[in-house]
Structure 1
Amino acid sequence: MVTLYDTTLRDGTQREGMSLSVDDKLRIAQRLDALGVHYIEGGFPGSNPKDLEFFERARHLELDNAVITAFGATCHKNGAAETDGGLRALLDTGCEALCIFGKTWGLHVTETLHATLDENVRMVRDSVAFLVDAGRTVFFDAEHFFDGYAADPSYAIEVCRAAAGAGASGVVLCDTNGGTLPHVVARVVREVAEALPGVTLGIHAHNDAACAVANSLVAVDAGCTHVQGTANGYGERAGNADLFSIIPALVLKMDDTCISREQLMLLTEVSHFIAETANVTPNPHQPYVGASAFAHKGGVHASAAARLPEAYEHIDPSAVGNLARVVVSELAGKASLTMKALELGIDLTGDQETATRVLDGIKELEHHGYMFEAADATLEVLLKKELGTYEPFFLLESFRCIMEKREDGKVMTEATIKIHVGDERFIATAEGNGPVNALDGALRRAIGRFYPALDAIELTDFKVRVLDEKKGTGAVTRVLIESSDGEKTWGTVGVSENIIEASWEALVDSIEFGLAHPRVRTE
């Protein structure tokens, strides 16, 4: 069985622009524990107060599977391990497991540490022995191992042998620069396993050559039984090995029991939770857990997937807690549209004539600039209109927007809207920080008294794309609006040569979809 070692809370936070509070780290640790991860590296206690607070509070976490681990370095050059402040800080965390890194590349020893090769071996040996003698499980991260091994295999092995001989529970081979290719990793791991019989080997890969996941998997195949990585591949530069791609590959394709099948079904949920907690937009194209990982757009694919899912899906999406879905576009066929309609609660299976008519209409709209891949709500409205089941919540008589730039430099935007709800006519005016915001405000003033559910609906994202740039200011623009009621999120689209008209089109679909599907939750 492979041991999973997560370093999201330490190595992952070195991603540019990413920062986690102590509360964030504690919540993520609990989710990783539920997933079944064996070790969670919480940080570097010798480097900052935040990590010290995390370890203090982590003592009180009730974890079922994971062991919180502290990370640090070997003792200083010409210094005793027993008196080294960094090693003492590791022990002070109270963690049962500790991980320390040391140099295995002679270049780093002589040029970075300014130490002799023998002194570096002594630092590794004494540091591991000191922590093991204190009753802790110790992993040794052999930093820059693959570069060091390429330069001088015997020295890189000597350092690892010293760590293992001092009692390290595992020697982790690190591709710190992330440039090693899979065939090299496989060969080197096999050679190290031969040179260090009986030693538990691990892999810690970075993704600079886009091979971190592949390197981790071939390392396991070659003999490693300990894998380090991060949630969603977060990390410095191009990131670390993505544990959320490694874990399902191990369980579903390599028959490893690192976590249970039941735990694996939490994978997508945990991935998205960590992304949201880290304030990082989830990657829709991320393998296994991305929203698009099992999305079928091509008509032939969608049709075949409906009849024989395994023909176009390498695993059952539900195994990792994800869903297969159909994306309707100009590439779609009737099978795609029928499947998508069912996903939206509309049954077209017995009405192929309507399906054909709607599909032709969609292809014509996409020719003019519409796209429905991120606009399911607009697609639902379109389907209901074609079926004659669409009931508008209001009817527009007219609207106008006025933008005024004042002498003091401030810009004021005002929108006036004339609207009908049933037999009543309303005129409402609102100011906003732009025409769309002002229109949204005016519409809410006009119809809010009739539809209390509108209070929960918020516009969360607004994207504009110019479709034919060569026409300059006369170009057609596409507006995508994302909205949420706190429970669900939906997308709508509008297209016009007038950006305000395109925005209004997407806004109306967004509001009407939200009113047609009010949230269940009450505050």
Structure 2
Amino acid sequence: MSQAISIFDTTLRDGTQGEGISLSADDKLKIALKLDELGVHYIEGGNPGSNSKDIEFFQRVQKLGLSAKITAFGSTRRKHSVAEQDASLLRIAESGVQAATLVGKSWDFHVHTALGTTLEENLSMIFDSIAFLKQRGLEAIFDAEHFFDGFKHNPDYAVAVLRRAREAGADWLVMCDTNGGTMPAEISDIVSRIRSEIDAPLGIHTHNDCELAVANTLAAVAAGATQVQGTINGYGERCGNANLCSILPSLELKLGYSAIGRDRLRLLTPTARYISEIANVSMPVGQPYVGNAAFAHKGGIHVSAILKDSKTYEHIEPDLVGNKQRILVSELAGQSNVISKAQEMGLDVTSNNDNTRAIMERIKDLEHQGYQFEAADASLELLLRDAFGGLDEVFAVESFKILLEKTSHGMVTEAIVKLRVGQESVYTAAEGNGPVNALDNALRKALLPFYPRINDIHLADYKVRVLDEKDATAAKVRVLIESSDLSSSWNTVGVSGNVIEASWEALLDSIRYALLGMARLESHSGEDALRMRAGVVNH
């Protein structure tokens, strides 16, 4: 039977200390629900003694009935004071949590410099604080701050800190690499020594300042630690905390440990992406296991091989972590890329198809002009469907016009578009907060009578990149647009020396792709429709 590892998630506490991350009480509750579904064992919600937002979280989270243990964070009592009268400890005890994490100093340098007290008083602060929580019936987790730096500087005192916490009743002794500067071999050696000297459950808490937080965590587990602390997507102060999105599959799939279980591991990618949306922080596309490019293949030789057997260029099956394989089409792609992509869409394509060779040349020419289809799957699908006869034109643009007027009330922008929908000509105008918004509004206004569901579509993101900076204001630009509806999102691209034309091109692709999806949905019913919707979501 594989050894069980306890997973302690601190996204809601340590993760929020990362730059640019701020979560409301509602945000924290939503994330807590997702973490509980994922199967983590502890969810550290924050510090009930630090702010009203965390107090509200602890009050409301109890009504959710989560399986995970909700944990409050705090520090040991103040020097030369009484634990029973410490405001922070009292708030933890009154917060209604099942477990509490107390951080205490284990590096003598910090005791003298940061706390300004004696080594003996620090030991008393640790003992008194943990004993107080145990008397209140709480599970006590002791985070030995700067433990590895402290051990390297004064091993006897660092060990004495852990012993003192254990004597007070600490249920877990967690060794922290707070500055993130320890190497994996050092972690392994020190944890092994502590394992042999102290009979207590050990945990590991690492930071990523040397890009080693995951490696250090796994080294600690191999040396005997049975609790892992970390955050989703590695959020945290400075360079972040240990990334649970890499640790969990490595433990389960690579090292044979039992953490959340393989069934729940399939929730990892959607959980990571959901939390990134709530935190309003974009996930790196190349993030291991859960990133959008984690199982993306671009080189023609690679694609040709994985079509025969995915193990040729994939270290695990993507669906084990809830991710999916992606075939990228670009100027580096071979025929295998195009064939695979087209077959995904249900198109009848072979390597002997003249259209395959023609579309390959077309894609290479477009990318030479500045198009980038790796980040614009929807535009690519439209291009392939058009090449292989799988695209019905639902409307055609006859003309558009932009009017700009500077008034005493500010700049007024109006767009006029003329379309042909079937046999009917449509001519309409709309205002907006700039030319692209005005064009978007006019296009929707023209199509709405024919396609009412277009009301559900909106622009989620808009990016402009200058391709030839040396040409200054005459430079060609690439516009990437992300659009979404009630349950899906897709990306389109446009390129031109005129930013409005490039935006219009990406905008047209966005609407055309959405209408293509609607048409496919309407032609299916029941489970077929649901499967089709899932296919749209993947773009």
What TM-score do you get using the length of structure 2 for normalisation?
0.93
Residue 112 of structure 1 aligns to a residue whose secondary structure is helix
Judge conservation of contact 2:339–2:351 (CA < 8 Å) in 1.
no
Residue 490 of structure 1 aligns to a residue whose secondary structure is strand
What amino acid is aligned across from residue 170 of structure 1 in structure 2? W
1:477 matched to which residue of 2? 477
What amino acid is aligned across from residue 122 of structure 2 in structure 1? N
Q: 1:31 to 1:447 in 2, by over 3 A?
A: closer
Judge conservation of contact 2:347–2:390 (CA < 8 Å) in 1.
no
Q: 1:389 to 1:345 in 2, by over 3 A?
A: closer
Q: 1:56 aligns with which of 54, 59, 62?
A: 59
Residue 342 (structure 1) shift? 2.4
Mapping of 1:10-21 within 5 angstroms? 10-21=13-24
Q: Could you tell me how far apart the structure 1 residues matched to 2:469 and 2:45 are?
A: 49
What amino acid is aligned across from residue 162 of structure 1 in structure 2? R
2:537 matched to which residue of 1? none
Q: 1:446 to 1:230 in 2, by over 3 A?
A: same
Q: Deviations over 1:387-408 (max 9, x none)?
A: 23332222222222122223x3
Mapping of 1:375-394 within 5 angstroms? 375-394=376-395
* 425-434 vs 325-334, which moves further: 425-434
Residue 162 (structure 1) shift? 0.7
What amino acid is aligned across from residue 14 of structure 1 in structure 2? Q
Residue 279 (structure 1) shift? 2.2
Does 2:415 correspond to 1:415?
yes
Residue 89 of structure 2 aligns to a residue whose secondary structure is helix
Residue 208 of structure 1 aligns to a residue whose secondary structure is coil
2:524 matched to which residue of 1? none
1:329 matched to which residue of 2? 330
Q: Could you tell me how far apart the structure 1 residues matched to 2:351 and 2:367 are?
A: 25
Q: Could you tell me how far apart the structure 2 residues matched to 1:244 and 1:445 are?
A: 43
Q: Could you tell me how far apart the structure 1 residues matched to 2:76 and 2:16 are?
A: 22
Q: Could you tell me how far apart the structure 2 residues matched to 1:410 and 1:427 are?
A: 26
Q: 1:104 to 1:472 in 2, by over 3 A?
A: same
What amino acid is aligned across from residue 320 of structure 1 in structure 2? V
Residue 475 (structure 1) shift? 1.6
1:187 matched to which residue of 2? 189
1:515 matched to which residue of 2? 515
Q: Deviations over 1:458-479 (max 9, x none)?
A: 1221111111111222221111
Q: Deviations over 1:101-143 (max 9, x none)?
A: 1001111111211110111111112222222233221111000
Mapping of 1:157-196 within 5 angstroms? 157-196=159-198
Identity among equivalent pairs (%): 53
* 262-271 vs 76-85, which moves further: 76-85
What 5-or-longer segments of structure 2 have no aligned partner?
522-528, 534-539
1:274 matched to which residue of 2? 275
What TM-score do you get using the length of structure 1 for normalisation?
0.95
Q: Could you tell me how far apart the structure 2 residues matched to 1:96 and 1:391 are?
A: 59
Q: Deviations over 1:268-310 (max 9, x none)?
A: 1111121222222233222111111111111111111111111
Q: Could you tell me how far apart the structure 2 residues matched to 1:147 and 1:328 are?
A: 48
C-alpha root-mean-square deviation of aligned residues, in Å? 1.7
Mapping of 1:32-71 within 5 angstroms? 32-64=35-67, 66-71=68-73
What 5-or-longer segments of structure 1 have no aligned partner?
none
What amino acid is aligned across from residue 19 of structure 2 in structure 1? E
Residue 496 (structure 1) shift? 1.3
1:82 matched to which residue of 2? 84
Q: How many residues align?
A: 519
Residue 194 (structure 1) shift? 2.5
What amino acid is aligned across from residue 412 of structure 1 in structure 2? V
1:263 matched to which residue of 2? 264
What amino acid is aligned across from residue 53 of structure 1 in structure 2? E
Does 2:118 correspond to 1:116?
yes
Q: Could you tell me how far apart the structure 1 residues matched to 2:277 and 2:107 are?
A: 38
1:397 matched to which residue of 2? 398
1:440 matched to which residue of 2? 440
1:365 matched to which residue of 2? 366
Residue 409 (structure 1) shift? 6.6
What amino acid is aligned across from residue 100 of structure 2 in structure 1? L
* 222-231 vs 184-193, which moves further: 184-193
Q: Deviations over 1:354-377 (max 9, x none)?
A: 222211211111111111111111
What amino acid is aligned across from residue 384 of structure 2 in structure 1? L
Residue 381 (structure 1) shift? 1.5
Mapping of 1:223-238 within 5 angstroms? 223-238=224-239
Q: Deviations over 1:130-186 (max 9, x none)?
A: 222332211110001111112211111111111112221111111111122212211
Q: Could you tell me how far apart the structure 2 residues matched to 1:444 and 1:26 are?
A: 36
Residue 517 of structure 1 aligns to a residue whose secondary structure is helix
Q: Could you tell me how far apart the structure 1 residues matched to 2:375 and 2:368 are?
A: 16
Residue 350 (structure 1) shift? 6.8
Residue 115 of structure 2 aligns to a residue whose secondary structure is coil
Residue 18 of structure 1 aligns to a residue whose secondary structure is coil
Q: Could you tell me how far apart the structure 2 residues matched to 1:338 and 1:177 are?
A: 49
Judge conservation of contact 2:335–2:351 (CA < 8 Å) in 1.
no
Q: Could you tell me how far apart the structure 2 residues matched to 1:127 and 1:51 are?
A: 21
* 129-138 vs 500-509, which moves further: 129-138
What amino acid is aligned across from residue 159 of structure 2 in structure 1? I
Q: Could you tell me how far apart the structure 2 residues matched to 1:455 and 1:60 are?
A: 36
Residue 64 of structure 2 aligns to a residue whose secondary structure is coil
2:525 matched to which residue of 1? none
